[in-house]
Amino acid sequence: MSKNHVAKLFALLLGLVMIAAACTTDSSETEAAEADSSEETEAADGAAVDGCAEGSINISGSSTVEPVSRRAAELYEDVCPETVVTVDGPGTGDGFALFCAGETDISDASRAIKDSEAADCEANSVEFTEIKVANDGIAVMTSPNNAVECLSFVDLYALLGGQSEGYDNWSDASDLATELGSDVAPYPELPLDISAPGTESGTYDSFIEIVLEGLGEENEGEDGQFIRQDFAGNSDDNVIIEGITGSDSSLGWVGFAFADANADVVKALAISAEPGGDCVTPTADTIADNSYRVSRALYIYVNNAKVSENPALAGYVDYYLGDAYSESVTKAFGESGYVELPAAELADVQAAWDAAKG
């Protein structure tokens, strides 16, 4: 073999050795990178599910708060699949009945707990933590085909208060409204078709407390019936919306988020606290600054003993007030939602919860 051939063969062998070495290095680097990536993923997953625990959580109560708690539950189950959260919304009153009997872990509420309900909890040794989760308005609604644009508390009392029992037409309330100082009456000669929450609903109670109770005490005394009893209330907000859309001269109320989500088929009326006052339409901004006067707070109530017994419960509430908070509150209905607490107030709520759970 010539020297030239030997040199070529040596060069070929050297090249093969270098290629093999390079491949070995690339393979090692790839394996190392994949290992690092795997470790990072495991670390990220560990951080995402930190504090998760196997268990179940039972939530019942307000149909208004239900979408917020349900969205928080969906988000929590995504990162903590070993926790199962069930949520339903029969109404605030029904929810407190279950909660104070010790049958649920959390009670959703569109009003604060009543003294009588708190007494039931105490009688059953159910200690709880009240947590404000959002602000909401109560939208007074009618059909878009109704010419009415603004009503005062006086008008709402004349149409829906205890003294309006038996009024079948808007015009039936005209004399009472005029007597009380309405600047809108006389009303049209149209059927008064009421579609509104029932007695089990916190939205029913809140509407009475905010709008009707003061006028009822002034005109009927403290023992008077503040709201008329001759309409069929419903705990399902979607059924209420259907009732409003089913009559051109309808009148009723529901949580703002439900009305806003159905703004294409219902008309939210502007409301003034006094006859001749500023007519304010419910929006996220007017609810947040309380210029829309038919506004209220939304709550969840947590059973303290069950927090101690069920680690998953504390993790869920932590997540509800933390990572899930903004999306759950503002996106419970997609583009329409409730009004978040101001950052400082939310921080106070989170601190109070941290102290309560120990």
In Å, how far from its chain's centre is CA 49? 24
Same domain? For 174 and 276 the reply is: yes
Give percent of the chain above pLDDT 70.
Answer: 84
Same domain? For 170 and 219 the reply is: yes
Residue 206's domain is classified under what CATH number?
Answer: 3.40.190.10
Same domain? For 147 and 269 the reply is: yes
**β-strand pairing of 295-303 with 106-109:** antiparallel
pLDDT tens digits for 233-254? 998 999 999 999 999 999 999 9
Q: Which residues pair with 297 in a beta bridge?
A: 135
Query: pLDDT-based confidence at 336, cuts 50/70/90?
Result: low
Same domain? For 141 and 120 the reply is: no
In a domain, 34, yes or no: no
**β-strand pairing of 150-152 with 270-272:** parallel
* Cα separation, 86 vs 31, whole angstroms: 43
Same domain? For 227 and 305 the reply is: no
Can you give the pTM of this predicted structure?
Answer: 0.77
CA dihedral 126, 131, 135, 139 (to 10 degrees): -10
> If you search the block for the tokens 């109770």, which residue do you land on?
213
Same domain? For 241 and 209 the reply is: yes
* Cα separation, 133 vs 302, whole angstroms: 12
SS (H, E, C) 228-273: CCCCCCECCHHHHHHHHHCCCCEEEEEEHHHHHHCCCCCEECEEEC
CA dihedral 336, 70, 291, 200 (to 10 degrees): 120
Which residue segment(s) compose the domain that 161 sits in? 137-295
Same domain? For 84 and 173 the reply is: no
Out of 295, 311, 342, pick the residue that ends a domain: 295
Q: Is it the case that residue 58 has pLDDT exceeding 60? A: yes
Same domain? For 320 and 219 the reply is: no
Out of 295, 311, 334, pick the residue that ends a domain: 295
Question: What local confidence, expressed as pLDDT, does residue 358 receive?
Answer: 79
Q: Is it the case that residue 3 has pLDDT exceeding 90? A: no
Out of 295, 315, 336, pick the residue that ends a domain: 295
Q: Is it the case that residue 351 has pLDDT exceeding 50? A: yes
For residues 332 and 136, is the Cβ–Cβ distance under 8 A? Answer: no
pLDDT tens digits for 249-270? 999 999 998 999 999 999 999 9
Phi, psi of 83 (to 5 degrees): -105, 130
State how many domains the chain has. Answer: 2
- In order of 2, 29, 36, 175, the CA distances from 42 in angstroms are 60, 20, 10, 72
Question: What local confidence, expressed as pLDDT, does residue 356 receive?
Answer: 94
Q: Which residues, including other chains, have CB under 8 Å from residue 350's CB and lie 6 or more apart?
A: 321, 322
Same domain? For 346 and 284 the reply is: no
